Amino acid sequence: MASAMEMLVGDQKIASQSDRWVEVINPATEQVQSRVPDADAGDVDRAVCVARQAFEDGPWSRMTPSDRGKLMYKLAELIEANADELALLETQDMGKPHFHSLNHDVPMAVDFMFYCAGLCDKVRGSQVPLGPDKHVYVLREPVGVVAGIIPWNFPLVIAVQKLGPALAYGNVIILKPAEQSPRTAIRLGELALEAGIPPGVVNVVTGYGETGAALCAHAGVDKLSFTGSSEVGKLIMEAAAENFRKVTLELGGKTANIIFSDADIDAAIASTVFTSCYNSGQICTTGSRLVMHKRIHDQFLDTLTSKLNQLQVGDPMDAGTKLGPIVTKEQYDRVNAYIKIGQEQYSPIECGQRQSGLDAGYYVNPTLFDHVAPDARIAQEEIFGPVISIIDFEDDDEVIRIANQTSYGLATAVWTNDLARAHRVAAKVDSGFVWVNCNNFWVAPIPYEGHRVSGVGADMGIEGVESYTKLKSVVVNLDNSPNPWVE
Ligand code: NAI
Ligand code: MG
């Protein structure tokens, strides 16, 4: 049996009480790579109690912000120092090319942690001037115990995206990584201890959706922070309603990658290749709708397909690979089912170069569908694979209508050299991100907020970090005159 990894509660590495395990399958080999505990409600309860005690009685929330920041800097440095191991675990668990795990995911996780560490001692409350009779100040306090539910597409980055903001303001957290890719979150918890962050501040429970559901239902949790499907996001919001807990939800998307005829076509093509295939299309901001002006359609498509045909689909450990496998058999079937749905109406243009000699792995080649109707299922539903619907348009009003014609509102990309047009479109599309002449640009200082079915609240940026706090307004009466309401 492949080596198991236990979860982390306080400073204890533990199995589940039931001794049930989740098998972690490497999607490139289809073999069991590792196993982690399958935590039940009892295990979750234990973690919440440990976290609650660390919050109420431990040194963490009483530490000076600058001391907290120093420990978080140390954690960021440890993530960096352990890049090789973390990148390997990430690739073995979920299949993204090792080159990307090492050169994109780990550095991004480090940046996010540094950003949050730097915010610790920048926290400010405020004072509300109300004249001489009242002294009013507003405090920003930690919410308490946070549950961070993490998906499998950026396991380490998204774990840090929950962990950093929670820690910055003195909260404690229980991370629940995805069952497909749990190991980097466990290592992150261990590195937090190594950095000197007190036991119980960072806990990691592992298991399937049921474990996440038990965590979200627990009355001892004060905030639920989730990234994943809109379907589960809704369940999380319902769970939060039970005790009126705070929620942050980062959900699905159906990005319109809009190419106007006046765009820098070479740059737009290169970026379209990237946004269509990066992480094998398993990103909530994948440019899954390529919305293209009719005038440039043929030339753009020709060059795009020839570029896509150069991409190697194959072993994620091979340095030449650009698209690794899809994360699981289940997701692979789902992506292929969407390709079938597309095929009922349109002929697929299959691109990419499948590496020879592969005898296992859940691989999907980049696949385009051309002249797709904006309301077709493949243009409406999140596929989460390298499957792109090309939609034609002729004028600006039409393209804005198309961009907004989905229930999602996460990101839009606009390619044009006309400055006024870029800003006009940016103002009218209803999405949390608008990228002008770029794609998929996320860095720590920019808040990430989905509109409509894409989410509630922001991750990262100062706004996202502040969502891990609650306000307290203290009103001090300085007026001694009698209360007019009482005789
Ligand atoms: P999912 O939303 O079911 O899983 C995400 C996380 O939520 C995992 O940790 C899972 O264990 C947990 N979870 C599942 N059910 C839960 C529940 N009832 N309560 C609490 N936690 C629960 O996503 P899944 O099934 O892995 O992927 C399905 C689709 O979701 C994908 O095809 C994609 O369209 C979308 N997705 C979107 C992501 C994003 O970045 N916005 C990330 C992953 C998936
Ligand atoms: Mg699911």
The last residue of a domain, from among 390, 409, 436 = 436
Question: Same domain for 245 and 270?
Answer: no
Whether 284 sits among the annotated catalytic residues: the reply is yes
Question: Same domain for 214 and 300?
Answer: no
Question: Same domain for 460 and 414?
Answer: no
Whether the CB-CB separation of 198 and 59 falls below 8 Å is answered with yes
- Residue 319 belongs to a domain: yes
Q: How many CB atoms lie within 10 A of CB 59?
A: 11
Q: How far apart are the C-alpha atoms of 69 and 65, rounded to whole Å? A: 6
Asked whether 263 lines ligand 1 (CB < 6 A), one says no
Q: Report the alpha-carbon angle 342-441-386, nearest 5.
A: 20
């979150």: which residue's tokens? 185
- Residue 225 belongs to a domain: yes
- Residue 388 belongs to a domain: yes
Q: How far apart are the C-alpha atoms of 261 and 293, rounded to whole Å? A: 6
How many domains does the chain divide into?
2
Q: How far apart are the C-alpha atoms of 251 and 329, rounded to whole Å? A: 22
Asked whether 210 lines ligand 1 (CB < 6 A), one says no
- Residue 446 belongs to a domain: no
Give the tokens for residue 136: 């009013």
Asked whether 178 lines ligand 1 (CB < 6 A), one says yes
- Residue 420 belongs to a domain: yes
Question: Same domain for 35 and 168?
Answer: yes
Q: How far apart are the C-alpha atoms of 203 and 188, rounded to whole Å? A: 10
Asked whether 284 lines ligand 1 (CB < 6 A), one says yes
Give the tokens for residue 480: 């001694």
Q: What is the Å distance from ligand 2's center to 456 Cα?
A: 19
């899954």: which residue's tokens? 288
User: Quick one: pLDDT at residue 2?
Assistant: 66
Q: What is the Å distance from ligand 1's center to 18 Cα?
A: 24
User: Quick one: pLDDT at residue 426?
Assistant: 98
Question: Same domain for 326 and 353?
Answer: yes
Kindly give the number of the ligand 1 atom that is closest to the alpha carbon of 233: 2
The sign of the dihedral angle between the CA atoms of 327, 332, 334, 336 is positive
Q: What is the Å distance from ligand 2's center to 72 Cα?
A: 32
- Residue 141 belongs to a domain: yes
Question: Same domain for 310 and 224?
Answer: no
User: Quick one: pLDDT at residue 486?
Assistant: 85
Which of 154, 180, 210, 232 to probe ligand 1 with, by most ligand atoms within 8 A of CB? 232
CA distances (Å), origin 255, targets 55, 92, 104, 168, 403:
39, 28, 21, 31, 8
Residue 222's H or E segment, with its range, is: none
Whether the CB-CB separation of 257 and 275 falls below 8 Å is answered with yes
Question: Same domain for 412 and 464?
Answer: no
Phi first, then psi, for residue 298 (nearest 5°) are -65, -45
Question: Same domain for 244 and 97?
Answer: yes
| Residues of the chain below pLDDT 50 | 1
Question: Same domain for 208 and 299?
Answer: no
Give this prediction's pTM.
Answer: 0.97
Question: Same domain for 119 and 243?
Answer: yes
Average pLDDT in the chain = 97
- Residue 38 belongs to a domain: yes
Domain that includes residue 382, residue range: 256-436
User: Quick one: pLDDT at residue 9?
Assistant: 98
Catalytic residue among 120, 284, 382, 449: 284
CATH code assigned at 192: 3.40.605.10
- Residue 382 belongs to a domain: yes
Question: Same domain for 331 and 213?
Answer: no
Question: Same domain for 12 and 153?
Answer: yes
CATH code assigned at 358: 3.40.309.10
Which residue type does 349 have? I
